[in-house]
């Protein structure tokens, strides 16, 4: 019985891909809805639905669903999956400071210093262009709460930008 269920799920995945490639959004979403009942994972279901909308260039719908998937991954303590979705969202919404802060927070929990520093620099560059002092202060406060080293890194980066 388990093999039969696996085969049906595999066929459903291929059907979704087929319908997406042919531009048949409603059919792809219909198969997705049927397939999603077999998931025991709401985060994966949201991400797949977002992927379908994204493939049809319905970015607003996709962004909402990707954010839900990211939140669900975080709640279930799957940080790698959450950060992957967060990175995808950052590509879609490059100047969203909340996403940058989410990425920094997620990479802190993964102890990935190079990614933390990269997102700090990108956030500071974006804020400097926008000249948004309130967002800058919020980011610096967030960094100080996590670690003095990250706060100092951001402070030095800001000083170098001023030169």
pLDDT digits (tens, 9 = 90+) for 36-52: 888 889 999 999 999 99
The answer to whether residue 56 scores a pLDDT higher than 90 is yes
Mean pLDDT of the region 53-64: 97
If we measure between CA atoms, which residue out of 69, 75, 37 comes closest to residue 52?
69
pLDDT at position 128 over 80: no
Alpha-carbon gap, residue 85 to 47, rounded angstroms: 8
pTM, two decimal places: 0.86
Q: In Å, how far are 22, 56, 74, 106, 144 from 114, measured between CA atoms?
A: 40, 34, 21, 13, 17
């Amino acid at each position: 019985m388990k093999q039969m269920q696996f085969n049906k799920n595999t066929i459903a995945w291929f059907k979704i891909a087929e319908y997406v490639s042919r531009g048949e959004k409603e059919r792809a979403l219909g198969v997705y809805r049927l397939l999603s009942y077999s998931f025991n994972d709401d985060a994966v279901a949201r991400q797949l639905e977002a992927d379908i909308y994204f493939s049809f260039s319905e970015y607003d719908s996709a962004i909402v669903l990707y954010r839900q998937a990211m939140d669900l991954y975080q709640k279930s303590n799957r940080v790698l999956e959450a950060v992957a979705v967060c990175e995808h969202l950052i590509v879609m919404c490059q100047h969203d400071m909340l996403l940058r802060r989410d990425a920094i927070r997620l990479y802190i929990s993964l102890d990935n210093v190079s990614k933390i520093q990269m997102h700090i620099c990108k956030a500071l560059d974006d804020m400097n262009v926008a000249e948004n002092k309130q967002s800058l202060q919020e980011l610096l406060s967030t960094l100080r709460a996590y670690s003095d080293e990250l706060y100092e890194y951001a402070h030095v980066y800001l000083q170098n930008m001023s030169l």
